[in-house]
Amino acid sequence: MTNTLSLVVPFYNEAAAIQPFADAILPVLEAVPDSRWEIVCVDDGSKDSTLLKLVALAQTDIRFRVLEFSRNFGKEAALTAGIDAAKGEAVIPIDADLQDPPELIVDMVHAWRMGAEVVLARRVNRSSDGILKRRTASWFYSLHNKLSKTKIPENVGDFRLMDRTVVDALKALPERQRFMKGLFAWVGFRTITLDYTRAPRSAGETKFSGFSLWNFALVS
Protein backbone atom coordinates (compact mmCIF):
# COMPACT_ATOMS: atom_id res chain seq x y z
CA MET A 1 0.00 0.00 0.00
CA THR A 2 1.22 3.48 -0.84
CA ASN A 3 1.34 6.08 1.94
CA THR A 4 0.96 9.80 1.44
CA LEU A 5 3.35 11.80 3.61
CA SER A 6 4.04 15.50 4.16
CA LEU A 7 7.18 17.45 4.90
CA VAL A 8 6.62 20.89 6.45
CA VAL A 9 9.47 23.33 5.93
CA PRO A 10 9.67 26.88 7.37
CA PHE A 11 11.73 29.34 5.30
CA TYR A 12 12.90 32.74 6.49
CA ASN A 13 15.49 34.44 4.28
CA GLU A 14 16.73 31.06 3.04
CA ALA A 15 17.31 31.87 -0.67
CA ALA A 16 20.80 30.35 -0.54
CA ALA A 17 19.59 27.19 1.19
CA ILE A 18 16.71 26.28 -1.14
CA GLN A 19 18.59 24.49 -3.91
CA PRO A 20 20.83 22.50 -1.52
CA PHE A 21 17.67 21.54 0.39
CA ALA A 22 15.85 20.34 -2.74
CA ASP A 23 18.95 18.48 -3.97
CA ALA A 24 19.36 16.68 -0.65
CA ILE A 25 15.73 15.95 0.10
CA LEU A 26 14.37 14.63 -3.20
CA PRO A 27 16.62 11.53 -3.49
CA VAL A 28 15.75 10.65 0.12
CA LEU A 29 12.01 10.86 -0.52
CA GLU A 30 12.43 8.71 -3.59
CA ALA A 31 14.33 6.15 -1.49
CA VAL A 32 11.29 5.59 0.76
CA PRO A 33 9.38 2.68 -0.77
CA ASP A 34 5.63 2.91 -1.41
CA SER A 35 5.36 6.60 -0.57
CA ARG A 36 3.88 9.68 -2.19
CA TRP A 37 5.10 13.04 -0.85
CA GLU A 38 4.11 16.65 -0.61
CA ILE A 39 6.57 19.28 0.59
CA VAL A 40 4.71 22.14 2.26
CA CYS A 41 7.00 25.18 2.16
CA VAL A 42 6.06 28.14 4.34
CA ASP A 43 7.66 31.45 3.45
CA ASP A 44 7.69 33.32 6.75
CA GLY A 45 7.83 36.86 5.32
CA SER A 46 11.32 36.54 3.84
CA LYS A 47 12.95 39.73 2.60
CA ASP A 48 15.23 38.00 0.08
CA SER A 49 14.26 35.95 -3.00
CA THR A 50 13.09 32.91 -0.97
CA LEU A 51 9.46 33.18 -2.11
CA LEU A 52 10.36 33.58 -5.80
CA LYS A 53 12.65 30.58 -5.62
CA LEU A 54 10.04 28.44 -3.86
CA VAL A 55 7.40 29.35 -6.44
CA ALA A 56 9.83 28.50 -9.26
CA LEU A 57 10.50 25.14 -7.62
CA ALA A 58 6.78 24.43 -7.26
CA GLN A 59 6.32 25.15 -10.98
CA THR A 60 8.80 22.45 -11.94
CA ASP A 61 7.82 19.87 -9.31
CA ILE A 62 4.21 19.53 -8.17
CA ARG A 63 5.26 17.90 -4.91
CA PHE A 64 6.21 21.39 -3.65
CA ARG A 65 3.40 23.55 -2.23
CA VAL A 66 4.04 27.11 -1.12
CA LEU A 67 2.32 29.10 1.63
CA GLU A 68 3.13 32.79 1.85
CA PHE A 69 2.97 34.85 5.04
CA SER A 70 2.28 38.60 4.83
CA ARG A 71 5.21 39.33 7.16
CA ASN A 72 7.63 37.50 9.45
CA PHE A 73 5.59 35.75 12.18
CA GLY A 74 8.30 33.40 13.44
CA LYS A 75 9.03 29.71 13.11
CA GLU A 76 6.25 28.55 15.46
CA ALA A 77 3.58 30.26 13.36
CA ALA A 78 5.14 28.94 10.15
CA LEU A 79 5.11 25.38 11.50
CA THR A 80 1.53 25.73 12.71
CA ALA A 81 0.31 26.92 9.30
CA GLY A 82 2.31 24.23 7.50
CA ILE A 83 1.05 21.44 9.75
CA ASP A 84 -2.54 22.71 9.34
CA ALA A 85 -2.18 22.62 5.56
CA ALA A 86 -0.43 19.23 5.41
CA LYS A 87 -2.58 16.40 4.04
CA GLY A 88 -0.32 13.39 4.67
CA GLU A 89 -1.01 10.32 6.81
CA ALA A 90 2.21 11.30 8.57
CA VAL A 91 3.79 14.76 8.84
CA ILE A 92 7.47 15.63 9.32
CA PRO A 93 8.54 19.22 10.14
CA ILE A 94 12.12 19.80 8.96
CA ASP A 95 14.37 22.90 8.85
CA ALA A 96 15.42 24.32 5.49
CA ASP A 97 19.15 24.52 6.29
CA LEU A 98 19.89 20.75 6.35
CA GLN A 99 20.71 20.82 10.07
CA ASP A 100 18.02 18.16 10.36
CA PRO A 101 19.51 15.30 8.30
CA PRO A 102 17.15 14.20 5.50
CA GLU A 103 18.57 10.63 5.55
CA LEU A 104 16.87 10.05 8.91
CA ILE A 105 13.49 10.29 7.17
CA VAL A 106 13.90 6.76 5.81
CA ASP A 107 14.25 5.36 9.36
CA MET A 108 11.46 7.59 10.67
CA VAL A 109 9.00 6.26 8.12
CA HIS A 110 10.12 2.71 8.85
CA ALA A 111 9.52 3.18 12.61
CA TRP A 112 6.09 4.69 11.87
CA ARG A 113 5.17 1.73 9.68
CA MET A 114 6.18 -0.56 12.56
CA GLY A 115 3.61 1.17 14.78
CA ALA A 116 5.16 4.32 16.30
CA GLU A 117 2.82 7.33 16.36
CA VAL A 118 5.62 9.80 17.07
CA VAL A 119 9.23 9.31 15.97
CA LEU A 120 11.55 11.79 17.68
CA ALA A 121 14.96 12.76 16.32
CA ARG A 122 17.46 13.41 19.14
CA ARG A 123 20.76 15.23 18.58
CA VAL A 124 23.58 13.28 20.17
CA ASN A 125 25.90 16.23 19.98
CA ARG A 126 25.29 19.91 19.46
CA SER A 127 28.82 21.03 18.74
CA SER A 128 27.55 22.75 15.57
CA ASP A 129 25.58 25.16 17.83
CA GLY A 130 27.53 27.90 19.61
CA ILE A 131 28.45 27.55 23.28
CA LEU A 132 25.98 30.26 24.32
CA LYS A 133 23.09 28.57 22.50
CA ARG A 134 23.96 25.18 24.03
CA ARG A 135 24.28 26.62 27.54
CA THR A 136 21.04 28.62 27.39
CA ALA A 137 19.15 25.68 25.83
CA SER A 138 20.33 23.41 28.62
CA TRP A 139 19.23 25.93 31.30
CA PHE A 140 15.88 26.32 29.61
CA TYR A 141 15.14 22.58 29.54
CA SER A 142 16.29 21.88 33.07
CA LEU A 143 14.27 24.79 34.48
CA HIS A 144 11.22 23.96 32.38
CA ASN A 145 11.29 20.28 33.32
CA LYS A 146 11.63 21.11 37.02
CA LEU A 147 8.63 23.41 36.93
CA SER A 148 6.32 21.57 34.57
CA LYS A 149 4.61 18.19 34.74
CA THR A 150 4.88 17.89 30.96
CA LYS A 151 8.54 17.12 30.30
CA ILE A 152 10.10 18.38 27.07
CA PRO A 153 12.78 15.90 25.98
CA GLU A 154 16.19 17.57 25.86
CA ASN A 155 18.12 17.69 22.57
CA VAL A 156 14.98 17.04 20.57
CA GLY A 157 13.91 19.77 18.14
CA ASP A 158 10.89 20.13 15.90
CA PHE A 159 12.30 17.50 13.51
CA ARG A 160 10.12 14.43 14.12
CA LEU A 161 7.48 12.32 12.44
CA MET A 162 3.88 12.54 13.62
CA ASP A 163 1.05 10.23 12.66
CA ARG A 164 -2.18 11.84 11.43
CA THR A 165 -3.88 11.09 14.82
CA VAL A 166 -1.17 13.17 16.54
CA VAL A 167 -1.50 15.99 14.01
CA ASP A 168 -5.27 16.08 14.50
CA ALA A 169 -4.82 16.21 18.30
CA LEU A 170 -2.40 19.15 17.86
CA LYS A 171 -4.79 20.93 15.55
CA ALA A 172 -7.57 20.61 18.13
CA LEU A 173 -5.58 22.53 20.78
CA PRO A 174 -6.91 26.05 21.29
CA GLU A 175 -3.55 27.73 22.08
CA ARG A 176 -2.90 30.79 19.96
CA GLN A 177 0.59 31.63 21.22
CA ARG A 178 2.11 28.31 20.19
CA PHE A 179 5.37 26.85 21.45
CA MET A 180 5.44 23.74 19.31
CA LYS A 181 7.92 21.67 21.31
CA GLY A 182 5.73 22.13 24.40
CA LEU A 183 2.53 21.22 22.57
CA PHE A 184 4.18 18.25 20.86
CA ALA A 185 5.23 16.91 24.28
CA TRP A 186 1.82 17.61 25.82
CA VAL A 187 -0.23 15.52 23.37
CA GLY A 188 1.73 12.32 24.16
CA PHE A 189 1.21 9.18 21.97
CA ARG A 190 3.31 6.06 21.34
CA THR A 191 6.79 7.48 20.85
CA ILE A 192 10.19 6.18 19.81
CA THR A 193 13.47 8.12 19.54
CA LEU A 194 16.20 7.99 16.89
CA ASP A 195 19.61 9.58 17.48
CA TYR A 196 21.53 11.74 15.01
CA THR A 197 24.45 14.14 14.84
CA ARG A 198 23.52 17.74 14.09
CA ALA A 199 25.22 19.19 11.01
CA PRO A 200 26.28 22.82 10.55
CA ARG A 201 23.95 25.04 8.45
CA SER A 202 24.10 24.44 4.66
CA ALA A 203 24.15 28.20 3.96
CA GLY A 204 23.53 31.54 5.68
CA GLU A 205 23.28 32.18 9.41
CA THR A 206 20.90 31.34 12.21
CA LYS A 207 17.70 33.38 12.01
CA PHE A 208 17.36 33.55 15.78
CA SER A 209 19.11 36.19 17.86
CA GLY A 210 19.90 35.67 21.54
CA PHE A 211 17.17 38.18 22.27
CA SER A 212 14.49 36.36 20.29
CA LEU A 213 15.34 33.08 22.05
CA TRP A 214 15.04 34.84 25.42
CA ASN A 215 11.68 36.25 24.41
CA PHE A 216 10.63 32.81 23.33
CA ALA A 217 11.50 31.27 26.70
CA LEU A 218 9.47 34.00 28.42
CA VAL A 219 6.27 33.82 26.38
CA SER A 220 6.19 30.05 26.00
Given the rule CB under 6 A, which residues bind ligand UDP?
10-12, 14, 44, 72, 74-75, 78, 95-97, 99, 206-208
Q: Which of ligand UDP, Mg ion, none sits in contact with 181, Cβ below 5 to 8 A by type?
A: none
Q: Which residue is nearest to Mg ion (CB)?
A: 99
Task: Please count the residues of the chain.
Answer: 220
Please, which residues bridge with residue 68 across strands?
43
Site string for Mg ion, 191-210 (x = CB under 5 A): --------------------
- Among residues 99, 105, 166, 185, the one that binds Mg ion under rule CB under 5 A: 99
Angle between helix 180-187 and helix 164-172 axes, rounded to 10 deg: 110
Please, which residues bridge with residue 105 across strands?
none
Start-to-end Cα distance in the chain: 40
Q: Is 10 within 8 Å of 79 (Cβ atoms)?
A: yes
Helix, strand, or coil (residue 155): coil
Taking contact as CB under 5 A, which single stretch among the options 24-32, 96-104, 142-150, 173-181 is the one that binds Mg ion? 96-104
Kindly compute the dihedral angle of the four CA atoms of residues 83, 156, 73, 140, in this order, to the nearest 10 degrees: 140
Nearest residue (CB) to Mg ion, 134 versus 164: 134
Q: Which of Mg ion, ligand UDP, none sits in contact with 75, Cβ below 5 to 8 A by type?
A: ligand UDP
Angle between helix 15-31 and helix 104-113 axes, rounded to 10 deg: 40
* CA geometry: angle 102, 3, 86, nearest 5 deg: 70
Nearest residue (CB) to Mg ion, 35 versus 202: 202
Closest approach of Cβ 2 to ligand UDP, in Å? 28
Please, which residues bridge with residue 39 across strands?
7, 64
Nearest residue (CB) to Mg ion, 79 versus 116: 79
Nearest residue (CB) to ligand UDP, 196 versus 208: 208
Is residue 97 a contact residue for Mg ion (CB under 5 A)? yes
Total number of residues binding Mg ion (CB under 5 A)?
2
